[in-house]
Structure 1
């Protein structure tokens, strides 16, 4: 039970940190994709960010974001003691963490794990179809079954690395 409590505490801390750093990151022209805290003895803070304009993010961008976050967290000090900060792009097989991600990445394959089972299942793999009028995530399995999943119950979701996704990423990089 201690591990679950630590995970819950890390999730609460991640949400608090996101609220602290988001304005500074957004001023730089970036959007936070995910904030994750792990480790108890030696905390590690992982930040995934992307450009608001949709263009790629490079190492210098990550360094700029890191310096800004470090300065902000030095003032707010959400950790007791030292921590490791990692800033990165979401990558090609990115996590889907925001409601808009499920619409933006419609047409690509994804894997979704739910906290609460839907139609007797907690894991779904298939083609993202976007969102319906009630903002339910729509996904179609390889067998052609369609499912509506509530965003608030998503535990983890990510794009699957496919030739189609690689081709889209390559096209985006050449623009």
Structure 2
């Protein structure tokens, strides 16, 4: 059911986001305790502020009320994907070249399952991460199908 709700929400929000030059990062419909939450994460190259989230929330809420795809009562939350936004597909990686990333793999690759460094290159088949190990930098090439999860990483 959550998959159907995410699909319908995606169909409803896509024209809203296109009109505002925003990107859909992720949709989730979850039950936490007694409450259901429909969470929508958005982004843009310039970032997303509270006013933008409110504007998208109002428009999406009206579209959801009209279509009424969710039978339970729920809370709608529209927010920025944040500084450590998830990387959900190969296009997200391509768009993030030059940024710091944190990537985990399903199984060990070169003795590790966690890789953090600068994303040097990416395409639909692989990502290349420059990992600093003390004073040297090593480039690791990971096949996309081996990646369990990825996100942007903030370096302090």
Query: Is the TM-score greater than 0.5?
Result: yes
RMSD: 2.6
Tell me, in whole angstroms, the C-alpha distance in 1 between the residues paired with 2:108 and 2:63: 40
Structure 1 residue 39 and structure 2 residue 27: aligned? no
The Cα of 1:12 is off from its aligned counterpart by 5.3
Match for residue 130 of structure 2?
A: 140
Distance (whole Å) between structure 2 residues aligned to residue 154 and residue 80 of structure 1: 35
Q: Is the 8 A contact 2:85 2:152 kept in 1?
A: yes
**Corresponding residue for residue 50 of structure 2:** 59
1:47–1:128 CA distance, 2 compared to 1 (3 A): same
**Does the C-alpha gap of structure 1 residues 43 and 96 become closer, same or farther in structure 2, counting only changes over 3 Å?**
same
Gaps of 5+ in 1: 1-8, 164-175
Q: Which has the larger share of strand?
A: 2
Query: Which stretch of the first structure deviates more once superposed, 26-35 or 82-91?
Result: 26-35
Counterpart among 7, 12, 18 of residue 10 in structure 2: 18
Question: Could you say if the C-alpha distance between residues 64 and 127 of structure 1 is closer, same or farther in structure 2, counting changes exceeding 3 Å?
Answer: same
Provide the rounded CA distance (Å) in 1 between the counterparts of 2:127 and 2:36.
33
CA pair 10-117 structure 1, distance change in 2 beyond 3 A? farther
Counterpart for residue 76 of structure 1: 67
Post-superposition offset of 1:19? 2.8
> Is the Cα–Cα contact under 8 Å of residues 103 and 129 in structure 1 kept in the other structure?
no
Aligned CA distance change for structure 1 residues 72 and 103 (closer, same or farther; 3 Å): same
**By how many angstroms is 1:65 displaced?**
0.1
1:172 is matched with none
Q: Report how many aligned residue pairs link the two structures.
A: 150
Matched, 1:92 2:86: no
CA distance in 2 between counterparts of 1:121 and 1:162 reads: 20
Structure 2 gaps, min length 5: none
| 1:11-33: CA deviation from partner (whole Å, max 9, x where unpaired) | 55424422332122222332212
CA–CA distance in structure 1, aligned partners of residues 9 and 114 of structure 2: 29
